[in-house]
A and B are shown apart, each in its own frame.
Chain A
């Protein structure tokens, strides 16, 4: 890296004038400063959280059965959501990346709908559909299945809001796969199914996993849509909000730490998964 800067500085020295001699070129310095400020802005709240954390109260807060339940609900629902997104979203992403069909640009734009909606609005539109008086919710309700204020409701809300992350990331990853590798695999005797599993997916793997990880994290942290669709059972974000409004920040801070730890664990797992993954015929 340093070599790069020096080369640039040398080749541009005459154009920059005598004042640029010696230190870093002015442009590089500006970029560094702006990047550093952005980084500080992003990290500052985390640092403040760790500093303000009432560490002595953390064990007690973690033992709170309601907190444990809320964490379990969030993690379970986020995992189910992610599995659903993987099951249906990855084929959708592949179709959008590879197939040419009418209205493809419109379908692509529609994927972003949940990102465009404010989270609360996402909750409201789903309530209209899945609520006890909505067309789908009523059908389930007559069979004794509640789609709101239940784990199913949490999953529905999370999936809707979080799915675009996986679909968009996976679509880009599939688009980056050289289509000729798929064609050649076919001429070597592989069925379309085998080509997908052994050629397309492995090459798109890290993008797909990154997308699913974002989906899980977004689902785990989902608040707006969940609060509208399924206030109960409490998810961790909803429970944090309840504690915050009822008892103030000291009660909410230990829970925030729990949420952060869970996210950090998932990110670590994903990093390991994409780096060390061994796929069929994979390279070491």
Chain B
């Protein structure tokens, strides 16, 4: 790899394809360089199908898939390598260990045939050490815990010396305690392998904890991709904002470009001024009535002294606490914006148990919400973007 001037240009997995399964259409365009890339999205978005397509277990209608310098599939050229020639390690959600084989036989199944028996045994032992299961050779898959089964499945995939790893919801079958314990292990093993690793998850916190790159998929298409910071801080659409943890999405009636930034009028009548960078390209391209304001609610600065002028008077929203709720160590205050219709959804502001007692938030209290620069973004409605992409 060192001979290549720009390893990023060649190394890794690239997929750009479309396919149809009944009424479901999937259009995916993504790249995964060496390291962990999370494929994040809600159920039914097409995440698992994307992995199956890359592994060669489902066929594409159009497009190409390349891995490093090899073409795995090219619909226009009629190329579709069978799964056994792709050298792509695939760990399904249920792990699918071979139930009639020992752990050692499971792992050795994909080991290169050039290895003799002794070398295979040694390789199995090395991999079991790597996944922290030394001495598990003769165990039956039936007698493994969920976390152990997952690590055996990972060792089995690595034994075949793949060029990429595909992990489908690797933690969904595990209880919360085990999940936290194996998460770091899995990340370390995947990173140490140096392989492009695509990890499917529906859990934002999991994606953020593990991956350095993020591919956001929903409704059968890629909504955003890039480094974690790029994707999470700069969503383009309402849907992307919601999936990436932007808790508040408020209707906008009009917006206008001004000398310094953008002036936005909300449906409730309140106005605020955003810096130019907080305005998504997609929103700029669309009609004003199809733009929405997305807020990072946990970053808003809440104060109950309604008369005091906050530090940045240009980006302030005013409202009234409608109700408060508690769930475990977290408190939430539901704030209705002044001028909003009673049927409009309230902003659900989160607080830690530590800060909550000092807030003095009870139903009926007026609050001002100062919005830091990185906590607001003007995004486009989804329909608008999807129509433009057709």
B35 contacts the other chain (CB 8 A): no
Pick the contact of B98 from A186, A187, A191, A199 — CB < 8 Å? A199
Q: Assess the B110–A189 pair: CB atoms within 8 A.
A: yes
Residues on B with C-beta less than 8 A from A190 are 84, 109-110
Q: Assess the B96–A178 pair: CB atoms within 8 A.
A: yes
Instruction: Tell me the residues in window 241-284 of chain A with beta carbons closer than 8 Å to chain B beta carbons.
Output: 279-284
B345 contacts the other chain (CB 8 A): no
A44 contacts the other chain (CB 8 A): no
Q: How distant is the Cα of A220 from the Cα of B97 in the complex, in angstroms? A: 39
Instruction: Tell me the residues in window 310-350 of chain B with beta carbons closer than 8 Å to chain A beta carbons.
Output: none
Closest B residue to A201 by CB, please name it.
B100
Q: Assess the B86–A187 pair: CB atoms within 8 A.
A: yes
Pick the contact of B96 from A180, A189, A279, A282 — CB < 8 Å? A180
A36 contacts the other chain (CB 8 A): no
Q: How distant is the Cα of A185 from the Cα of B97 in the complex, in angstroms? A: 10
Listed residue (A178, A185, A280, A283) with the most chain B CB atoms within 10 angstroms of its CB: A283
B235 contacts the other chain (CB 8 A): no
Instruction: Tell me the residues in window 158-174 of chain B with beta carbons closer than 8 Å to chain A beta carbons.
Output: 159-160
Q: Assess the B96–A187 pair: CB atoms within 8 A.
A: no
A202 contacts the other chain (CB 8 A): yes
Residues on B with C-beta less than 8 A from A282 are 100-101, 105
B140 contacts the other chain (CB 8 A): yes
Residues on A with C-beta less than 8 A from B106 are 281
* With A180-B92, A281-B109 as contacts: A186 and B100 at CB distance below 8 Å: no
Residues on B with C-beta less than 8 A from A202 are 100
A203 contacts the other chain (CB 8 A): yes
A87 contacts the other chain (CB 8 A): no
Residues on B with C-beta less than 8 A from A198 are 109
Q: Assess the B94–A185 pair: CB atoms within 8 A.
A: no
Instruction: Tell me the residues in window 176-222 of chain A with beta carbons closer than 8 Å to chain B beta carbons.
Output: 178, 180-181, 183-191, 198-199, 202-203, 205
Residues on A with C-beta less than 8 A from B90 are 183-184, 187
Q: Assess the A283–B83 pair: CB atoms within 8 A.
A: no
Closest B residue to A183 by CB, please name it.
B57
Q: How distant is the Cα of A187 from the Cα of B102 in the complex, in angstroms? A: 19
Instruction: Tell me the residues in window 35-73 of chain B with beta carbons closer than 8 Å to chain A beta carbons.
Output: 52, 55-57
* With A187-B83, A188-B109 as contacts: A283 and B100 at CB distance below 8 Å: yes
Q: Assess the A180–B83 pair: CB atoms within 8 A.
A: no
Q: How distant is the Cα of A224 from the Cα of B143 in the complex, in angstroms? A: 50
Is chain B's binding surface mostly helix, strand, loop or mixed?
loop
B108 contacts the other chain (CB 8 A): yes
Chain A residue total in the interface (Cβ 8 A): 23
Instruction: Tell me the residues in window 89-128 of chain B with beta carbons closer than 8 Å to chain A beta carbons.
Output: 89-92, 94, 96-102, 105-106, 108-110, 112
Pick the contact of A186 from B57, B101, B156 — CB < 8 Å? B57
Q: How distant is the Cα of A178 from the Cα of B85 in the complex, in angstroms? A: 22
Closest B residue to A195 by CB, please name it.
B84
Nearest-Cβ distance from residue B153 to partner chain A, whole angstroms: 8
Q: How distant is the Cα of A187 from the Cα of B84 in the complex, in angstroms? A: 5
Q: How distant is the Cα of A183 from the Cα of B105 in the complex, in angstroms? A: 17
Q: Assess the B98–A189 pair: CB atoms within 8 A.
A: no
Residues on B with C-beta less than 8 A from A284 are 138
Q: How distant is the Cα of A281 from the Cα of B82 in the complex, in angstroms? A: 25
Instruction: Tell me the residues in window 144-197 of chain A with beta carbons closer than 8 Å to chain B beta carbons.
Output: 178, 180-181, 183-191
Pick the contact of B94 from A180, A199, A279, A280 — CB < 8 Å? A180
* With A181-B96, A281-B102, A283-B101 as contacts: A187 and B156 at CB distance below 8 Å: no
Pick the contact of B84 from A180, A186, A281 — CB < 8 Å? A186
Residues on A with C-beta less than 8 A from B98 are 181, 185, 199, 203, 281
Q: How distant is the Cα of A85 from the Cα of B309 in the complex, in angstroms? A: 88
B215 contacts the other chain (CB 8 A): no
Residues on B with C-beta less than 8 A from A184 are 90-92, 96, 156
Q: How distant is the Cα of A272 from the Cα of B101 in the complex, in angstroms? A: 19
Residues on A with C-beta less than 8 A from B82 are 186
Q: Assess the A281–B160 pair: CB atoms within 8 A.
A: no
Residues on A with C-beta less than 8 A from B52 are 183
Q: How distant is the Cα of A184 from the Cα of B168 in the complex, in angstroms? A: 12
Q: How distant is the Cα of A183 from the Cα of B49 in the complex, in angstroms? A: 13
Q: Assess the B160–A189 pair: CB atoms within 8 A.
A: yes
B88 contacts the other chain (CB 8 A): yes
Residues on A with C-beta less than 8 A from B102 are 281, 283
Q: How distant is the Cα of A185 from the Cα of B101 in the complex, in angstroms? A: 12
Q: Assess the A187–B55 pair: CB atoms within 8 A.
A: yes
* With A186-B83, A189-B87 already in contact, 19 other A-B pairs whose C-beta atoms are closer than 8 Å: A178-B94, A181-B98, A183-B52, A183-B57, A186-B56, A186-B82, A187-B55, A187-B86, A187-B157, A188-B89, A188-B156, A188-B159, A199-B98, A203-B98, A280-B105, A281-B100, A282-B100, A283-B100, A283-B102
Residue ranges of B at the interface with A (Cβ–Cβ < 8 Å) = 52, 55-57, 82-92, 94, 96-102, 105-106, 108-110, 112, 138, 140, 156-157, 159-160
Complex A-B, nearest 8 residue pairs according to Cβ-Cβ distance, in ascending order: A188-B110, A281-B105, A180-B96, A186-B83, A281-B101, A187-B90, A188-B160, A187-B83
Can you name 17 A-B residue pairings with CB atoms under 8 Å? A178-B96, A178-B99, A180-B96, A183-B57, A183-B83, A183-B92, A184-B156, A187-B88, A188-B110, A188-B159, A189-B112, A191-B84, A198-B109, A281-B98, A281-B100, A281-B109, A283-B140
